[in-house]
Structure 1
Amino acid sequence: MYIGFDYGTANCSVAVMQGDQPELVALEKGNPYIPSTICAPTRESVSEDLFRFRDIQPSGDIGERLLRRSIAFNKEEDIRLEQDDVHYGEGALNTYLQEPGEVYYVKSPKSFLGASGLHENQLSFFEDLVCSMMANIKHQAESQLEQTIHQAVIGRPINFHGRGGEAANKQAISILSSAAKRAGFQDVQFQYEPVAAGLEYEASLTKDMTVLVVDIGGGTTDCSLIQMGPSYRTLSDRSASLLSHSGQRVGGNDLDIYLAFKRLMPAFGLGSKATSGIDMPITQFWNPIAINNVEAQKSFYARQNLADLKTLQKMAQDPSKLSRLLQVYFDTLGHHLVRKAEEAKIALSDNQHFAAKLAHLSDAIEIDISQSQMIEAIDSPKSKMIELVKEAVQRGQTQPDAIFMTGGSARSPILRDAVQQVLPNVPVIGGNYFGSVTAGLARWAQTCYA
């Protein structure tokens, strides 16, 4: 059996073809979308769980060394891993929110896959993370379908990391391919996510058109200018109809991070001064919430950074704010702050004000954010997204007949208006913001495997 598999930055989903129509499969409590999150008692528990409870062997010599170290660490810390100690999706998020400082939690491992400067142990560990999530999704889908899944077309962004170029893309695809094979998929192929979304939109067309697909996901924004319609629908090779691509690692997560930085982090000392009059270092407020940046997270939560944070508190004109930053360090609250910013972003799409309640702090606080403040905070990542829209049209040297917007962040009226301003006379069409890519991947899987 074959599936379309959207291993997304924000959510994961799976679709199968029922006749000539794709159908999404329930993965978590009847929901076809499972958040791209994983939570375990310790970082080391992920690798041990794969081996001990899922019968998934480590990947090569490096993977074996990682597994041995993981088992030794948990034993030394007297952590006895039990079946179902590793959680996924909403279950992972709920476990983290209950005791943020007591568990290992990752949101959006896909964001790390093309990062530069990763050593072989990090690459092996990220493969274990992805494999664990994929194995869970495959198991859940097979339970619903009552069939074994052997083949999958997996979605991929145009570029996993803008700065890494093709080397970063190859690294990410290698991790995804190996993780999928270890998770039990016998044959895996990849398709660009905006192309997949375009295939789903194409199924509704009654005439040929040139369509600009704008896919604004959690981690990346990808644009494809595609010729599509009845004349193209049955082709197994679509390369000639793909006029241009553009893509970069900037997505919904970046909007959340920028909003958290600009509107929440001042309560933790951003913009404040030391008693000497010197500004507090910006990186100490950016790194804890840069949840899609491996080095930023590593730098902030490093043991040696604790001394620097304590020194900043002693030097601060307002030490109470730096006390909150220390609590972020001790309780690993970076993900919690970004989640609060995400809630604010969603609410402010339709409301003028939102009160962000930070309840996990010892001095629980409430921060009011206005819609205009939110718009100002996300201007930098929004501008990058709009440049990608322009780039795709310029490269294709063709004006589109329509713009098809998909991806969770494409629901934002702010982003939709910004895209419309670039191409004011081209209609903007929205589909299933979360499911278009998955459905299109299932359609392409049918082309590949049926």
Structure 2
Amino acid sequence: MSVSPARACGIDFGTSNSTVGWLRPEAGALIPLEDGKVTLPSAVFFNADEDTTCFGRAALAEYLDGYEGRLMRALKSLLGSSLIDGSTEVLGRQLSYRELLRQFIGELKTRAEGFAGRRFEAAVLGRPVHFVDDDEDADRRAQDTLGEIARSVGFTEIAFQFEPIAAAFHYEQDLAREELVLIVDIGGGTADFSIVRLSPERAKRVERREDLLANAGVHIGGTDFDRALSLAEVMPLLGMNSQKKSGIEIPSAPFFRLATWHLINFSYTRAAWNELQEIYRDAAERDKLDRLLNTVSQRDGHWLALQVEQAKIGLSGQECVSLELDRIARAPLAHTIDRAAMDAALAPLTTRVRDTVAQTLAGAGVPASRIDTVFFTGGSSGISLLRKQIAELLPDARAVEGDLFGSIGAGLAVEAARRFG
């Protein structure tokens, strides 16, 4: 591989965070994208007060500071969904979801080029093993859509690589001997797995097809964990599972919208507000429904989702966390969540992830005892229950934690240099 800077970059467009990788001599693989940080949260805020658009941490900050406007997050979730061909109203005009993705990916390209001091016309884009579970046509359309958007912002040469394979290439850079490695990549939207033979000698090859023993994935990630935790622990505080005066349970749709990152903005439509008013009239526990109406009328859905996300992250390292929810209660309201409660909420999802790992092993045709290393990457791979379940499947393998947010982008940079020079 050339010691001069690569002419191509690698782009990890993630559900929660995005990175851009670029190989050059004596430098880290990842390009700083915002305030010296190599990650750019995959968020866009359309500021109505100042008629501006901002991205990443700045987008989240302006939203939390109370500016009037529209926050969009979990943008990658649009790929493979029926929403991708639709549009939404932003600052009084219709914005297509394709244009929304074009703006964000274009911003990644612009920031990377600004740092590099050169244009990037070639790129390797990361992709999950499955954009869409059990639907090859929809999965292909999702990749095609991402490719079309990348071309529309100025990339003329495009290749794709599975995200866990990219993470494997990053891990391989530091290996001293051959290993059989299970890559566990659990990001914001998907859980992806690959079993790969890696070694210093194999790293020199451009074609690595024979080194890949198995690939598998399931459409479960951090935003799904957030939703499950919110539905189990937070939405009941807003009236979920409570009853109408007739004794019938109130509809659950408003709570599912508020608990799902890419659906939160649908809570603010006129139809959704009318639905809430009708639910409120018949509710037996109006004090809880008051919190729901406060959340929607104040457009605090993303704020609430951020509190749940931070609780999930906190419970990966401590036994309990306290959520301070005065903002939506308009009165003191604290709610404590412990590790056991989170485990119970996430167990159906982590069990599906574990089962997919087992399928990956079966697909590779190797016993668990043959796996030398489990390499964890992706911001949601640190969940303790998930790690415990994988460790039970592979008790003899050593666990290695990569850069949870940067391994894929760095590996895509390696792939970009191999493919395009």
Give 2:259's aligned residue. Answer: 289
Return closer, same or farther for 1:140/1:330 CA change in 2, 3 Å cut-off. Answer: same
- Residue number among 38, 42, 47 corresponding to 1:32 in the alignment: 38
Shift, 1:304, TM fit: 2.3
Shift, 1:195, TM fit: 0.2
Is 1:98 aligned to residue 98 of structure 2?
Answer: no
Number of residue pairs the alignment of both structures matches: 406
Shift, 1:21, TM fit: 6.7
Q: What secondary structure sits across from 2:111 in the alignment?
A: helix
Give 1:137's aligned residue. Answer: 108
Shift, 1:301, TM fit: 3.9
Deviations 1:203-256 (A, max 9, x none): 222222221111011111000111221342122222222111111211111111
Q: Distance in 2 between matches of 1:12 and 1:382?
A: 24
Report matched runs for 1:274-285 at 5 Å.
274-285=244-255
Shift, 1:394, TM fit: 0.9
Q: Distance in 2 between matches of 1:280 and 1:416?
A: 36
- Residue number among 339, 343, 363 corresponding to 2:310 in the alignment: 343
- Residue number among 235, 238, 251 corresponding to 2:208 in the alignment: 238
Give the residue type in structure 1 aligned to 2:410: A
Q: Which runs of 5+ in 1 are unaligned?
A: 43-78
Given that 1:290 and 1:297 are in contact with CA atoms closer than 8 Å, whether structure 2 keeps it comes out as: no
Moved more, 226-235 or 104-113: 226-235
- Residue number among 328, 352, 356 corresponding to 1:384 in the alignment: 352
Shift, 1:362, TM fit: 5.1
Q: What secondary structure sits across from 1:398 in the alignment?
A: coil
Is 1:371 aligned to residue 339 of structure 2?
Answer: yes
Given that 1:154 and 1:190 are in contact with CA atoms closer than 8 Å, whether structure 2 keeps it comes out as: yes
- Residue number among 236, 246, 249 corresponding to 2:219 in the alignment: 249
Give the residue type in structure 2 aligned to 1:115: S
Q: Distance in 2 between matches of 1:346 and 1:208?
A: 34
Q: What secondary structure sits across from 1:274 in the alignment?
A: coil
Is 1:265 aligned to residue 271 of structure 2?
Answer: no
Give the residue type in structure 2 aligned to 1:94: A
Q: CA RMSD in A?
A: 2.2
Q: Distance in 2 between matches of 1:440 and 1:119?
A: 31
Q: What secondary structure sits across from 2:193 in the alignment?
A: strand
Return closer, same or farther for 1:147/1:157 CA change in 2, 3 Å cut-off. Answer: same
Return closer, same or farther for 1:316/1:407 CA change in 2, 3 Å cut-off. Answer: same
Q: Distance in 2 between matches of 1:188 and 1:317?
A: 56
Give the residue type in structure 2 aligned to 1:325: L
- Residue number among 352, 357, 365 corresponding to 2:319 in the alignment: 352
Q: Distance in 2 between matches of 1:223 and 1:3?
A: 23
Give 1:205's aligned residue. Answer: 175
Q: Distance in 1 between matches of 2:120 and 2:417?
A: 13
Q: Distance in 1 between matches of 2:27 and 2:61?
A: 34
Return closer, same or farther for 1:397/1:149 CA change in 2, 3 Å cut-off. Answer: same
Q: What secondary structure sits across from 1:278 in the alignment?
A: coil
> What percentage of residue pairs aligned between the two structures are identical?
30
Give the residue type in structure 2 aligned to 1:177: G
Given that 1:113 and 1:126 are in contact with CA atoms closer than 8 Å, whether structure 2 keeps it comes out as: no
Q: Which runs of 5+ in 2 are unaligned?
A: 1-6, 89-94
Q: Distance in 1 between matches of 2:104 and 2:64?
A: 19
Give 1:229's aligned residue. Answer: 199
Moved more, 218-227 or 311-320: 311-320
Shift, 1:189, TM fit: 1.2
Moved more, 16-25 or 271-280: 16-25
Q: Distance in 1 between matches of 2:127 and 2:83?
A: 21
Deviations 1:343-384 (A, max 9, x none): 111112222221111243251422111121111111122112
Shift, 1:80, TM fit: 8.7
Deviations 1:157-204 (A, max 9, x none): 0011225x2222222222211221222222221110000000111122
Given that 2:192 and 2:217 are in contact with CA atoms closer than 8 Å, whether structure 1 keeps it comes out as: yes
Give 1:63's aligned residue. Answer: none
Given that 2:16 and 2:188 are in contact with CA atoms closer than 8 Å, whether structure 1 keeps it comes out as: yes
Is 1:4 aligned to residue 10 of structure 2?
Answer: yes
Shift, 1:306, TM fit: 2.2
Is 1:415 aligned to residue 381 of structure 2?
Answer: no
